[in-house]
Each structure stands twice: as structure tokens, then as C-alpha cells.
Amino acid sequence: MKRVGVFVCHCGLNIAGTVNIKEITDAASKTPDVVVAADHRYLCSEPGQALIKDNIKQHRLDAIVVAACSPAMHEITFRNIARAAGLNRYQSEIANIREQCSWVHDNIEKATEKAHVIIRQSIEKVKLNELLDPITVPVTRRALIVGGGIAGIRAALDVANSGHQVYLVEKTGSIGGRMAQLSETFPTLDCSICILGPLMVEAYRNPNIKILRLSEVEEVKGFIGNFKVKVRQAPVYVDETECNSCAECVKVCPAEVPNEFDSGLTWRKAIYIPFAQAVPPAYVLDAKSCLGLLPQACGECKKACDKLGMSCINLDAHPETHELEVGAIISATGYEMYDAARLTEYGYGIYPDVMTSLEFERMLSASGPTSGVIRRPSDGRIPKEVVFIQCAGQREPETALPYCSKVCCMYTARHAMLFRHKVPDGQAYVFYMDIRAGGKGYEEFVKRTQEEGGVLYLRGRVAKVHEENDKLVVKGVDTLSGKTVQIDADVVVLAVGMVPSQGSRELANTLKASVDENGFFAEAHPKLRPLESATAGIFLAGAGQAPKDIPETVAQASGAASKALNLLSSPTLEREPTVARIVNEFCSGCGICVPACPFEALSMNRERKIAEVAEALCEGCGTCVASCPSGALSLRNLTDTQIMAMIRAGRG
């Protein structure tokens, strides 16, 4: 029989406050096969670890049970101690008497009794644990980054500069993302494209980065270190290596559609360059707005291009599927704006002078529809009275978005300030709920807007906007004076919130990563693992995970890149050996387990007509074990025998 040692942690008063440590230690020491039981204030501390090590050696222990916090916290710590003391690391078991006992109970007597049961069960389990070694798998030392915004670009550069190959997959015709659309950035008022542009060019020139524009991830198979990804690239009608951006094709194109880059405030042709600084610097043919490619209806662009002796345009281009092998994936899918037309009280989409912040942003931009002059969309006049409505459709759990998008207080302050710079005799009003300006230099910026900028901040919400005599009548309340306010404005700007980009939910499904209730990518742990999804090898960066501003996005992107590099730095990686195992003689070949597995780790061996487990794919969830009607499947170190022994021990 195994010689077992039990170690009980006080965790300060976290456990000792509710559980009688002495009683359970004594009880544990009297359990059969337990050679020694000891307790310590903090087992995870250096002296605590030393206590375990010494006891393993002194009492020649074969296995240990550590009664402490959740295995999510310190399972690895104690396994490493066991290993350092000469044991197999899978001879260490955690009895969770904190999260599953002391924290959730207040009756000391009953909590102590329960802690004892948990410890007894762990003793029974560890006695039946096999000796296991981690599974070693090779790592494909390349990364895939989904989304070519600032997050994707930053992460791609970090990974590429460490000498690894990167595929940067971008849905649109150019990398750059939302940041390329912004005029200035808060709080320093740097020109956005001026600081982003160099990074875009750097990414384009970096030999380790392959940019796949007009592409989307279609399928992801495999597991951490060894993903097999299919990326579907829409037909690239304009060869980016040939195109010299002469714009002759644009002149002859007859199809015009709203320009997404200018938030629909201007028009573009079906063949177009996404924006002046686009990377790759090449034109894009938008098949949806083209008059017709199959069958070809017009072809004017190709004729114009051919006339110049060039041959950039191939109207017979086909979609392409790239099959990529990568070790790590970073999802940097970013955000889009909440649909302001759903906020019917503000009349967006009905009154042309009610605009979203992103539209106002384009208007402020020197490259925007009005070359940086602020004009009313309805008649082109320069507005004198502008009302900014913060939290539009945000922090409203019942009707719109329940959350705060975090950046609107800051960009609204910037918009109001820039409006005052451009229209010195104008008046800006900001309706706010409260100002959230947490960040370096942010509070100072808002103060400056209020004091030097002469912007009038009104604390309260706007009930309604309607048009009357060429003005937008804004009715709201100033909750500081307790009075209703009516402002006859020329332009109303809605600070609508950030929502996950279209298609990010589908991507999450493809990646087997989860999303939260608002559709943002869910991190593995909100505090301690914010850069990783719950699926191993999938990392998160940028506003696709939660609304965030540029500095935070860049920081997270570099963080996610370093997580990915961590994985790519070694040619192999270790995986938990506590995976499913099949007893071939018992398997009837019914195949029920194959669809039950969420990780595609089970398959049928056609020749032998039995199921097989791909250990490297198995996450050890146990679904297949439960599904097997003939008991051929079991989970290593959590077998039915062990579970029965634990149940028996639990009954006392």
C-alpha cells in the first residue's frame, strides 16, 4: 500500500477561520495508510513547501494530499514540490477545502466535518493514482493573427521581430482598422494615422509577416502548438504587387456606393483604395458593388488598366483557400459601433444632422469628407451649437447595451475641444452621466476641455431629439440644477458604444473560444489570465475582448504576443497526461464517443473497428467516458474505481 502524507493549510484565516484545523489534521493522521499529517499557516510559502519536502523524505511517502485552495491556484506548485522531493508529480492531490468549503460556509462544526470528508476522498483517490508523465508534443513555431487593426499589427510585429513567422488575416482590403479612421487621439491630440501609418508599413515590409487581406478564418483544427487553419481569401482582383495606385481604374468605374471608411458620409467606386495610407498600397475591387463579374457586365476598369500597358486587374480571379499550420493564434477582431438607429428617441437615420461619434470623427479628420471642416450633413453650413450625448445606448441593461464602453468620455471631450478649436464662436454641450477619465493624463484633459475649452457639461440624460425650424431640439435634464433643459442645436453627436465586430461570434465558434454575454471574447481568468481564452493556444488582444482605448489595446497586444512567443519559444510542449484511455478489448466500436467529444480527439479506427483517442487533442473533460456504454473508456487518474472509492469515503 502507498504511504500517504496529508498537509493542511490554514491559508491565514481563510480556512482556519471556519474549519478546525487541528481536528481535521488529527482525524487525517488516523486514516488508514496515512503515515503523517501536518498543518501550516501558508503551505504555499517557502517554509510550508519545505515542510512538505522534508516529510516526504523523512517518512518515505509515496503520495501526498494537500488540503488547501482550489487546484486552479496551486496544483502545479504542489506537483512540483512532490517532483522535487523525488515523487511522480501525479502522486500529489489537492483537497479543496477553501473555495468548496470554508469560503462558502459559516458553521464551524459542519464545515470542519465537510473538510474532513473532502480530505478522506482525496486520500482514497491519490492511493489509486497511476504514475504518469506529461505528454510531449512538437510545436509549429508560427503564429496566426486574426484582425489587422492596431492590436493585430502590434502583436504581429512583436512575434515577427522575435524571429517567428506570422500570418496576419484581415477581413477588409487594408490593415489599419478603426484607428486609421480616427483623426486625433486623446489625451495628447496626436494625429492618429501619423502614428499608426509607420507601424502598418513596418508590418508590410517585415519579411516574417504575411498579410492576407480580404481573408477570413474558415476552419481551425488541431490543438495548442499544432493548429491547422483554413483561411478563405476572397478573390483578389487587383494584384497588389503590380498595382501602382495610378487611379485610372477609379475614374472609369460607374458603380458608386457609400464609403465605409468615411462612415458612409462620402461615396466610393466599386474599385477603390480603402484610404490613402492603405496597406497593402493597392486597389480593391468590391465584388458586391461591382456591376457584375459573373457574367462580366462592365470591365471598364480592366480596359483602363490594360490601356496603360499594365495588367494588375484580373476579373477572373477566384477565391483561394490557404491551409496554414501554426502553433498559436491571437484573436484581435476589434469592435464596431452600436447601431444608433436603434435609439429611436434620438432620431438617428431620420434627421441627417444627428450623427454618431465615428461620423463626427471622420468630419474632424483632415482626410475626411470635408477635409477637416465641420459641416452640417443636411445643408453644409458650419454648425454653431453642437450637443454631444454621452452614454448613448449604453449603461441601459433593459433596452440597449448594459456596459460602459470606457472610451466615450475621453473622445467626446476631444471632439468638443476640437470643435471649439475649429469653430471658435461655437458652443459645445456635453450631456453626461458621470465622467470616467481613468488613465494617464485623462482627467487633466477633461478638465482642460471644461475650463479652457469653454465646453458646457450638463449632468443628465437626453430624453428626446426632434427637428423644428431647421434646428434639432434637444430636450434633456440637468440633474445638478434639477431643471429640464432645451437646446436648439445644429448638430447632435451620439457617443454610441462599442460592440464586438461582426462575425466575431462565428470566429469564436471556429476557434472553440467562448464569448461573454455581450459577445466579446471571454478571457480564461478576468484577473490572472486576461490575455488568453479558455482554449489553450488561443490568445486575445484588443477591443474584441472588451472595450478599451489605444494604449490599453497596444499593451494587451504586446502581452498576447509575448504569451504566444512563450509557446513558440520551445520546439516541444508538455500536455497533461490525465486524458482518456481506451481498453481495446471492451470497445464494441459503436462510435457513440466520437461525436460526444468536443475536441475531436476521438475517432474510429476503420481497420480494427474500434475507437481511438488522440492523446494530444484530449482535454480530459470525460464526456466520452460518460458516453461509453461498454465502459471501455476511462480517464487517467479519475477512473470509475477511483470515483467509487471517493464516494465510499464520502459516506464515511
Partner 1 sequence: MQSYLYFPGCSLRTVARDFEDSARASARALGLELKEMQGWLCCGAVFPNVADNVMTNAGPNRILARARAESDTLVTLCAGCHNVLKRANLQAKRNAIKQEQINEFNEERYEGGLGVLHFLEVLRDRVGFIAIREAAKTPLRGLPVGAYYGCLLLRPFEEMKLDDPHRPSVLEDLLFSIGCMPVDYPKRTECCGSFLGVGAPDAMALLSRNVVQAARSHGAKLLTVSCPLCKYNLEESQKQDPKASSSSGPLPVVYFTQLLGLALGVSPEDLRLSDTQLQTIRGGAKSTVESVSQT
User: Which cell goes with 434?
Assistant: 458621470
Q: Is 263 left (phi over 0), alpha (psi -120 to 50) or beta?
A: left
Interface with partner 1 (CB under 8 A), residue from 83, 322, 384, 466? 466
Indicate the residue among 191 and 485 with the shorter CB distance to partner 1. 485
Cα atoms in the 13 Å half-sphere on the side-chain side of 466: 4
The mark string for 500-529 relative to partner 1 (x by CB under 8 A, - otherwise) is ------------------------------
- Spatial CA neighbour of 379 closest among 271, 471, 278, 273: 471
> Which residue of 467, 549, 552, 615 would you call a contact of partner 1, by CB under 8 A?
467
Q: Does 484 bind partner 1 (CB under 8 A)?
A: no
* 298 CB-near residues (< 8 Å, 6+ apart): 254, 255, 290, 291, 292
Give the E-state strand segments of 298-379 in sequence order: 320-326, 328-331, 335-337, 354-356
Residue closer to partner 1 (CB basis): 345 or 600: 345
115 near 102, Cβ under 8 Å?
A: yes
591 alpha carbon, distance to own chain's centre:
35
> Which listed residue (323, 425, 468, 585) binds partner 1 by CB under 8 A?
468
Q: Within 13 Å of residue 645, how many CA atoms lie on the same side as its CB?
A: 17
Report if residue 399 touches partner 1, rule: CB under 8 A. Answer: yes
Contacts of 359 (CB under 8 A, 6+ apart): 263, 264, 265, 377
Instruction: Report the nearest approach of partner 1 to the CB of residue 397 (Å).
Output: 12
Distance between CA 616 and CA 374 in Å, rounded? Answer: 58
**Nearest CB to partner 1, comparing residues 475 and 581:** 475
Q: How far apart are CA 514 and CA 537, in angstroms?
A: 13
Nearest CA to 31 among 126, 129, 109? 126
Question: By CB neighbour count within 10 A (0-12 exposed, 13-18 middle, 19+ buried), where does 527 fall?
Answer: exposed
Among the residue ranges 300-308, 358-366, 464-472, 554-562, the one whose residues contact partner 1 (CB under 8 A): 464-472
Residue 473 as a binder of partner 1 (CB under 8 A): the answer is yes
Closest approach of partner 1 to the CB of residue 340, in Å: 13
CB nearer to partner 1: give 344 or 566.
Answer: 344
3-state secondary structure (DSSP) of residue 222: strand
Number of residues near partner 1 (by CB under 8 A): 11
Q: How far is CA 120 from the centre of its chain?
A: 40
- Nearer of residues 344 and 584 to partner 1, judged by Cβ: 344
With binding defined as CB under 8 A, does residue 345 bind partner 1?
yes
Q: Does residue 397 touch partner 1 according to CB under 8 A? A: no
C-alpha dihedral sign at 265, 271, 276, 281: positive
Measured from the CB atom, is 305 or 462 closer to partner 1? 462
- Upstream peptide bond of 187 is cis (omega within 30 degrees of 0): yes
425 binds partner 1 (CB under 8 A): no
Question: For partner 1, which residue of 350, 583, 626, 644 counts as binding (CB under 8 A)?
Answer: 350
Beta-carbon contacts of 236 under 8 Å, excluding residues fewer than 6 positions away, are 213, 214, 317, 320
Region near partner 1 per CB under 8 A, out of 183-191, 316-324, 467-475, 481-489: 467-475
Contact call for residue 470 and partner 1 (CB under 8 A): no
Minimum Å distance from CB 93 to partner 1?
45
Tell me which DSSP letter residue 279 carries: B
Binding flag, residue 486, partner 1 (CB under 8 A):
no
Question: Least distance (Å) from partner 1 to the CB of residue 347?
Answer: 7
Among 205, 294, 397, 398, binds partner 1 (CB under 8 A): 398
User: What is the nearest approach in angstroms of partner 1 to the Cβ of residue 138?
Assistant: 55
Nearer to partner 1, 345 or 443 (CB): 345
Return the number of the residue (106 or 470) whose C-beta is nearest partner 1: 470
Residue whose CB is less far from partner 1, 144 or 496: 496
Q: Write down the least CB distance from residue 395 to partner 1, Å.
A: 17
Contacts 24+ apart (CB under 8 A), 303-307: 303/252, 304/248, 304/249, 304/251, 304/252, 305/248, 305/249, 307/248
Tell me if 344 contacts partner 1 by CB under 8 A.
yes
| CB of residue 478 to partner 1, shortest distance in Å | 20
Is residue 400 at the binding interface for partner 1, with CB under 8 A as the rule? no
List of residues contacting partner 1 (CB under 8 A): 344-345, 347, 350, 398-399, 464, 466-468, 473
